[in-house]
Amino acid sequence: MSTAIFWSAIATGTLLIGMALAYRNLVGPKWTGLILAFGAGAIICAATYQLILGAASEVQGSYYLVGMGLGAGALTYYFADRWVDKKGDAEGKDSETGQSGGSGVSILLGSMLDGVPESLVLGLSLVHSPQVSMAYIFAVAISNIPQGLGGTADMLKSGWPKTKITRLWLSVCGLSILAAALGYGLGQLLAGATGAVVDSFAAGALLVVLTNSMIPESLKDGGKEAGLSLVLGFAISATVALAQLG
């Protein structure tokens, strides 16, 4: 179980690196957009190679389970994001700008709906195979930095206090680490548990957060170079994934 907790902490802890970069204002809006685009490319790779294909290989022909997981993850994020927007309109607006920080909260919500299932699956997988997929850890860790950076920068821009933002990101990290421990425990109790549906759930949530939040924000701040940065993020993550397979 300690291994599951360790690797989950490594993968999700990079959210706090992004948060710290935003606090120190070390990255301008242009580079924030480009880094966000890079992370989006890494997430597309992780969703494709690590989550969807991994889930499809585990269900042994019952591909409808992957489809159900994708749909459930997408709908969960969609409705949760709408709820957060409505709540933000009432509680999260800056008194001077009138902004609610919707994009930042959407990215944070996506990080939670992505990170918790991913950590749960990580814990499950370590029961059946002690060897950690470094490509998977790399893709998750590298994509979390721009999520933490972009989400925090947007919330700061909208007047959110740093203490509240820090508590939110720490909560996401804590829930993810707890999910890894829970996944490991479930893997020991349920010998046939694979996490295929959980993987596809995470992929569904990720694809919606990419379309609704990360890619639009990266294009707005990073300009047309955001597309090149996205491809670079995908290429590097895919190279790491394929190198481990080889």
Average pLDDT of span 130-136: 68
Q: Is 31 left (phi over 0), alpha (psi -120 to 50) or beta?
A: alpha
Confidence band of 108 (pLDDT split at 50, 70, 90): confident
Name the DSSP class of 131.
S
What is the spatial distance between Cα 25 and Cα 19, in angstroms, rounded to a whole number? 10
Considering only residues 38 and 90, tell me which one the structure prediction assigns the higher pLDDT: 38
Q: Which helix (H) or strand (E) holds 6?
A: helix 2-23
> What rounded mean pLDDT belongs to the chain?
81
Average pLDDT of span 53-69: 83
| CA-to-CA dists, residue 141 to 14, 163, 240, angstroms | 6, 23, 13
What is the spatial distance between Cα 182 and Cα 246, in angstroms, rounded to a whole number? 31
What is the spatial distance between Cα 231 and Cα 75, in angstroms, rounded to a whole number? 27
Question: 212: which 2 tokens?
Answer: 């609704």
CB 244 within 8 A of CB 113: no
Q: Give the pLDDT score at 230.
A: 94
pLDDT, tens digit (0-9, with 9 covering 90-100), for 146-162:
888 888 888 888 888 99
Q: Give the pLDDT score at 62.
A: 82
